[in-house]
Chains A and B, each alone.
Chain A
């Protein structure tokens, strides 16, 4: 299909020709790395005063990804803007008038943005890991240690999936304000609250971000009763993303543009 190449090229032009791309992705990288280094430095400093059980389950790899909880918010903004910009400007009508095959249009658009996010996410993950380990001093682990490389690559995958999930939600909701207004509190607050209140913890851990972040853990927590492993967790996150994509596709297909 000739249309696929055309949409891919066009979407790449769209992404690189607006400043929000550089801003959101740049903030995601800087926040994730900087916050990770900060937490690692503090952890290194306070390690001796930690309780024994915390020291036992100290996960040097995971600590260097401590900034991801905040950095992912910038990824969410990027994902939402990539899609909802089309709607808020009305450009979607020009786009769909050029490519009436809406499925092709949507998935090529998401493919371009996802590929970019994957590259940025992977780089962020590696940089955050190495910078964090440098700040950890004697506590550091190495990329060759068991499970570490999986966690670092997983960090890139996690960021990619968060952004793709946001794109899919924005495709369903269309409005940037509505999408951000739902996604931001969801990932920043609701997921954390559900995950930290004992009554709802069992539900909370099936949310996309909590399940997905399991891939970034190397040392299991004490008394860890989570019923899925790192890849299982990522699988749950992928299932969420696929469900959102199906929803977005159906909405785009059915509704008037």
Chain B
């Protein structure tokens, strides 16, 4: 059991963590979510007694970490996979930590086996990939066979197989009755790994609830409705009819409508009554990723700006900012990403389901990873007209979506319920 009470950390004028209170219980994986720079790592360091809180306190099993008897046998942590002397071999690194904790040396080879690094145990860790470094860090956390485990971004840099392995390891550790506290900035990853979520933004608590509650509270259904592109007045007619019936309508950039608050048959009836033809009426589910982004949109510290490339590039004639060739664009306008135009392939999956390959690692330092629609790969079939497919050079020819601030789609999104 980890407990934080009123945890606050200030660095000069900047408040990294403010009045954070939560409990992490044994037997479940607790996800610790927040955008980059939201104070996750600082909180973990305070729990481990490495940083002193400005006010408040954190305890493990009822005691401050520094007062824990035999701390390394009770608490294991992965804080930074790169925190290894590059000239030291993996085995020596773990051996020094084991000796420091009074753990027998044979345990080193056990954990090397658990994380699959036996083959490279004698190699200097300088040559390790980020994924190997993560495994080494996880091995260090497991050394003392501790009841409480903290992992800071353990899946960073891991390949899909490695991500799956970490996920199963976390669940297994929790199933053994341990307290497992895992930070991430990937909602989709946490939805699959964790049972409980603690979400922070700018160092403040945003949510503390089970993943199940989070899903039912945030992943609302909506309907996508398209009227004939050639007749914009039909769209207005339908919008008015739905509004009168109590539904909410939000336009999507490609000309479709996002309708919430009304069941699909009712929308069909309304369209029929208004004598509006429909090209599309489809059920959708907002992903957890969207809910998470919506929750944290106001507290993202690092926003990217559009890359103007002033003087570097000439826009070729006939350059179309968007692959869509349909009707007149609506707010948020051309060249802006439509996060709903493609489905998060994992958002709708049940927890525990295995995602397909191609799950991209987060692109740290490149703005918010969800700001780039390309990162989730699979485009919605209707997001682009089949007649006007995106050219292969799309990422280069279409700088705007990748560079847009993450909160762009938010204004149309105030009521996903």
- What is the interface of chain A, defined by CB distance below 8 A to chain B? 2-3, 6-7, 9-11, 13-14, 17-20, 85, 89-91, 93-101, 256-257
Contact = CB atoms under 8 A, between A and B. Distances in A.
Contacts of B45: 93, 256-257
Name which of B50, B68, B84 has the most chain A CB atoms within 10 A of its CB.
Answer: B50
A-B pairs, top 4 by smallest CB distance, nearest first, are A90-B83, A17-B92, A10-B100, A10-B99
A13 B90 CA distance: 12
B140 interface: yes
Contacts of A95: 97, 100
Interface string B67-81: 110011001010110
A85 B77 CA distance: 20
B50 A97 contact: yes
Contact of A7 (B80, B100, B140): B100
Given A10-B99, A89-B83, A257-B50, A94 B140 contact: yes
B96 A14 contact: yes
Contact of A91 (B85, B95, B99): B85
B99 A100 contact: no
A64 to B, nearest CB: 34
A101 B69 CA distance: 11
Given A17-B92, A18-B85, A93 B99 contact: no
Contacts of B96: 10-11, 13-14, 17
Contact of A93 (B50, B52, B101): B50
Given A89-B82, A94-B97, A100-B67, 8 more contacts: A2-B102, A6-B102, A10-B97, A17-B92, A18-B87, A96-B50, A97-B77, A256-B50
Contacts of B89: 17
A9 B48 contact: no
Of B77, B82, B87, chain A has the most CB atoms within 10 Å of the CB of: B87
B380 interface: no
B84 A91 contact: yes
A97 B75 contact: yes
B147 to A, nearest CB: 15
Interface string B263-284: 0000000000000000000000
A11 B88 CA distance: 13
B86 interface: yes
B135 to A, nearest CB: 15
A256 B43 CA distance: 12
Contacts of B97: 10, 94-95, 98
A1 to B, nearest CB: 11
Contact of A89 (B86, B95, B102, B140): B86
Most buried by B among A3, A97, A101: A97
Contacts of B72: 97-99
A19 B87 contact: yes
Interface string B96-116: 111111100000000000000
B66 interface: yes
B88 A18 contact: yes
A17 B75 CA distance: 26
Interface of B: 45, 48-52, 65-68, 71-72, 75, 77, 79-80, 82-89, 92-93, 95-102, 140
Nearest to B137: A94
User: Do most interface residues of chain A lie in helix, strand or loop, or is the interface mixed?
Assistant: helix
Contacts of B65: 97, 100
A93 B79 contact: yes
* Residue with the greatest number of chain B CB neighbours at <10 A, chosen from A85, A89, A98: A98
Nearest to A86: B85
Contacts of A13: 92, 95-96, 99
Given A6-B100, A13-B99, A100 B85 contact: no
B83 A91 contact: yes
9 contacts: A3-B102, A13-B99, A18-B88, A20-B87, A89-B82, A93-B79, A94-B79, A97-B50, A257-B45
A7 B140 CA distance: 16
A97 B71 contact: yes
A96 B77 CA distance: 11
B186 to A, nearest CB: 23
Contact of A256 (B51, B77, B79, B95): B51
A2 B101 CA distance: 10
B105 to A, nearest CB: 10
B100 A99 contact: yes
Nearest to B66: A100
B68 A100 contact: yes
B85 A89 contact: yes
B94 to A, nearest CB: 10
A16 to B, nearest CB: 8
Contacts of B92: 13-14, 17
A14 B71 contact: no
Nearest to A108: B100
A95 B77 CA distance: 11
A9 B99 contact: yes
Contact of A98 (B66, B86, B87, B101): B101
Nearest to B89: A17
A13 B88 CA distance: 10
B71 A93 contact: no
Contacts of B84: 89, 91
Nearest to A101: B66
Most buried by A among B83, B96, B102: B96
Nearest to A9: B99
B49 A100 contact: yes
B14 to A, nearest CB: 14
A91 B97 CA distance: 10
Contacts of B77: 94, 97
Given A18-B88, A20-B87, A89-B86, A256 B100 contact: no
Nearest to A21: B87
A234 B294 CA distance: 66
A219 to B, nearest CB: 44
A98 B85 contact: no
Contacts of A101: 66
A14 B49 contact: no
Contacts of A93: 45, 48, 50, 79-80, 83
